[in-house]
Structures are given as structure tokens and as C-alpha cells.
Amino acid sequence: MAPNSMNISAAADKANGDTDSTAPQQLDAGALFVLQSKGSWWHCGYHLTTSIVGPVIFSLPFAIALLGWVPGVAVITLSALVTFYSYNLLSVVLEHQALQGRRQLRFRDMAADILGPKWGKYFVGPLQFAICYGAVIACCLLGGQSLKFIYLLYTSNGGMQLYKFIIIFGSATLVLAQMPSFHSLRHINLVSLMLCLAYSACATAGSLYIGNSRKAPPKDYSMNGSQVSRFFGSINGVSIIATTFGSGIIPEIQATLVPPVKGKMFKGLCICYGVIITTYFSVAVSGYWAFGSNSKSIILTNFMDADGSPLLPIWFLLLTNIFTLMQLTAITVIYLQPTNEMFERWFADPKKDQFAARNVAPRLVFRSLTVVVAALIAAMLPFFGDIMAFFGAFGCIPLDYILPMVFYNTAFKPSKKSFIFWGNTIIAVGSSALAAVGGVASVRQIILDARTYSLFADVTM
């Protein structure tokens, strides 16, 4: 478990004369308008859940198929423990900075304060932007694929191309993208939390139903392929699981909490990880139990027979995809927030009201442009999943597994003989090795799949 944030905060209170250091800071328009500090720990839990839990969990049975029963479940369990610890460390460091009069609202500002300005400007900032905007593009692609899946359920010989469905999804997202602040998403993210519970229950029930039916495929849990392919496959499996626990916007979520923030993030994490335990293990275990080594990269694909016939009632598949589609819009909007904050900082005037025409006009233009570009890239590059695997190795792992350990050891300077120092160091070094090997594995997969790539390709789930 991570150090108790309340104890650290209490120590800092004593050192700082029991001040909460909420002294007013000169905020730019991005922090003032997008990262408004008005939320409760409940709202924080909703934001955390939406940022982490998404349809990407449908890939967990496939990840276990690459690793095997015991290693697969063990890696999921270890990733859950490490990320809970990691995110709690980030929260503790942010609380420590706030108590010293330097409350940081953004990941790049946190890095600049602890490691130096260049780390925030040239490493953490660009890396976070690439991951978050990449997630927006991936959501547009998945949303388009989900819409097409629904379309094909009722029109098996339909001729609509994937890019048209991506445009439809992007058009719907344009409206929600205009939500003014992170805090204004709290009710949307509560619905998102319920939706991920709903489609996870559907995926689990579907796998159990098919696994016990007469149409159930032979349950083969063997590991096939050469030693080289199995090695790279296992690395891909670990990378997939590690990426499913990624967030990349923990400081921005904590920024939405109304001061004082002590202990609130920990409660929000408990809500989030309660949902994670419920959804991740149920989908992963039931999916791999039902389909074994035949598990597809998205388990919903296994719900269709080889000839395209559904193995479940059409209404059930429709309901599952509607739940998935609706939550994808919430995920898209939450990962637009770092981009929104950046444009507000550049083009909005903090001296004028948030809803003054001077600020509304650039907000409408640039947020709309952001969604249009993301949808265009998703339509052009429907193989973006391979590219995201690369970004996941070099983006999610550094931001969510490595930097929190470095931040804590740098900010608190624990004794080099202490358990926490060496625990953090081992996690950081191990995660660095995983990022390097995972990056190589993702590049290898891109090369292998390159011959099937084409712009505006019409692909399905």
C-alpha cells in the first residue's frame, strides 16, 4: 500500500504551521476555466473511473490468451495493485506541494516543479498530449466500429463504409466537447460509470452463455506458435494489460477537487478500483474461459460465428454495443480536457467571464476543430490500434508507472535504506524495461501488419 496521505499531510501541516496553503495563485485561462476546483471526492471517483475503465477491457481475454491462465490473471492483479499505489503516490505528492503553497493543477506543472522546467515542457507535456489526443482518436475509431457493428446486425449486406460511421460518432461528440469545464462532466461521468458496469455485465453474461451452449467452441488453453512469437506475444499481453490501467490525467482530476484536498483522492480511487475489480476480472476470466486461445482482440467479436451469424440474441448484442457506444463518448470528452485546457490557455482571456463572447468564440472554434481532426485521423487510419500500442508502451507506462515513483522519491527523499525507496525504484526500473521491450514488440507488430494497411480501410471489430 502507498504511504497514508493523511499522515503525510499531518506532518506537512505541522511543518507549515497547520496551513492548508490555499493562498490564491495567478491562474491562466486554462486552469481558471477548464480545471475549476469545485468537485467532491465522489466526483473525483467518477472522473477516475471514466479515465481508466473503458471498452479496452474487452481486450483482456486476448491478453490472457497471450500469457496463459496463471500469468495472465497474475499480471492483471499486479497491475491493479501497482497502479493503485502509483496513483495514490501522485496524490500524496500533489497534496505535499499544495501544503507548501505550490498547488499544481497539471501534470506538466507538477513535473516542472519537482524535476525542473524542461521536464514539464519538453517531456511530460508533449507525452501527455500525445496519449490523451491519441485516446480521443482511438475512441472515434472504436465508436465508428461499434456503430457499424450495430448497422451490420440488421443489414448484413450493408454497403456503408467505416469512415461514415466515424463521422457520425465525431458529429455527436462535437456537442459534448463544448462542455465548459472538467467539473461540468461530473454527471456525465457518473452515467459513464454505470454504463461500464452494464456492458461489462453483458460481456460476462454473453461469454458464460456461449461457453455453456451447444455452439461453444472447443476450450483450448494451449500456447501456440514459435518461441519467438510466444515471447513477443507475452510482451504484448503485458503491455495491453498495463495500458488498460492507464490514465495519464491524475493531476488534472485532482485539480477538480475543492480545497482542502487531503484524503479526497484516496476515496475517489477506492470508488474507481471497486469498479475495476468488478469489471476487469469478470470480463477477463469469463472471456478466456469461454474462448481460450481463440479469444479475439475484442471479445465481442467472439460473439459472432465464423460465418457472421450471432451466437447471442440480436437485442442483447445491440444493448451491449449501445452501452459501449455511449460510454465511448464520455471517454472521448474526458480525454479532450488537456487539449481544451491548452487552447483556453492560449486563446482565452482570464480577465473576462468564461462565457463572454470573447472566450466562447475561440472555445467553440478550437474544440470543434480538435474533434474534426481526430475523427479525420481515425477514418484515415483505422489501424490506429497498432500505433496506440506503441504510444501505450512509451506513454502510459512512463506517466502512470514510472514518474509517480520518481516524483515521490525526489519530493520526499526517503532514506535509501528504506523499503519505500527501493520499492519505488524497483517498480520504476521494471516498468522502464517493460516500456522498452513493449515498444520493440509494438513496432514489430506494426511492421507485420503494415502490408494490410490502407487509408480509409473498411474494417470491423
CATH for 402: 1.20.1740.10
What is the C-alpha radius of gyration for the chain, rounded to an integer number of angstroms? Answer: 22
Residue 19 located in a structural domain: no
Is there a domain that residue 339 lies in?
Answer: yes
Q: How far is C-alpha 421 from the geometric centre of its chain's CA atoms? A: 27
Backbone phi, psi, residue 134, to 5° = -60, -40
The count of structural domains within the chain is 1
What is the arithmetic mean of pLDDT over 247-267?
A: 92
Residue with cell string 490502407 = 454
Confidence of residue 21 (pLDDT cuts 50, 70, 90): very low
Inside any domain, residue 27: no
Q: 3-state DSSP call for residue 134?
A: helix
Cα→Cα distances 35→87, 297, 353, 385, 449, Å: 19, 35, 15, 29, 40
Q: Is 421 within a domain?
A: yes
Strand (E) or helix (H) holding 266: helix 264-291
If you average pLDDT over every residue of the chain, what do you get? Answer: 87
Locate all alpha helices (DSSP H) within 40-185, ordered by sequence.
41-52, 60-67, 69-99, 107-115, 117-118, 125-154, 162-176
Does residue 389 surpass a pLDDT of 80?
A: no
H-helix or E-strand containing 200? Answer: helix 186-211
Structural domain contains residue 11: no
Give the model's pLDDT for residue 3. 47
**Domain residue limits at 267:** 41-452
pLDDT (mean) for 33-59: 93
Question: Around Cβ 405, how many Cβ atoms within 10 Å?
Answer: 24
- Range from 25-39, 123-137, 270-284, 442-456 carrying the lowest mean pLDDT: 442-456
pTM above 0.95, yes or no: no
Average pLDDT over residues 356-368: 92
3-state class of 330 per DSSP? helix
Rounded mean pLDDT of 337-345? 92
Query: Residue 51 — very low, low, confident or very high, per pLDDT cuts 50/70/90?
Result: very high
Please give the angle made by the CA atoms of 409, 414 and 416, to the nearest 5 degrees. 95
Q: Find out whether 271 and 189 touch, Cβ atoms under 8 Å.
A: no
Q: Rounded CA gap, 424 and 419, in Å?
A: 8
Torsion of CA 207, 209, 214, 220, to 10 degrees: 30
What is the reported pLDDT for 15?
36
pLDDT number for residue 20: 42
Asked if residue 273 has pLDDT above 90, the reply is: yes
Binned at pLDDT 50, 70 and 90, residue 109 comes out as very high
Percentage of the chain exceeding pLDDT 70? 91
Q: What's the confidence (pLDDT) of residue 88?
A: 96
Amino acid at 217: P
Task: Give a yes or no: residue 7 inside a domain.
Answer: no
Residue that is written with C-alpha cell 507488430 in the block: 445
The pLDDT, as a whole number, for residue 399 is: 93
Please report the pLDDT score of residue 31 as a whole number: 87
* 328 assigned to some structural domain: yes
Would you say residue 302 lies in a domain?
yes
Looking at residue 372, its pLDDT comes to 95
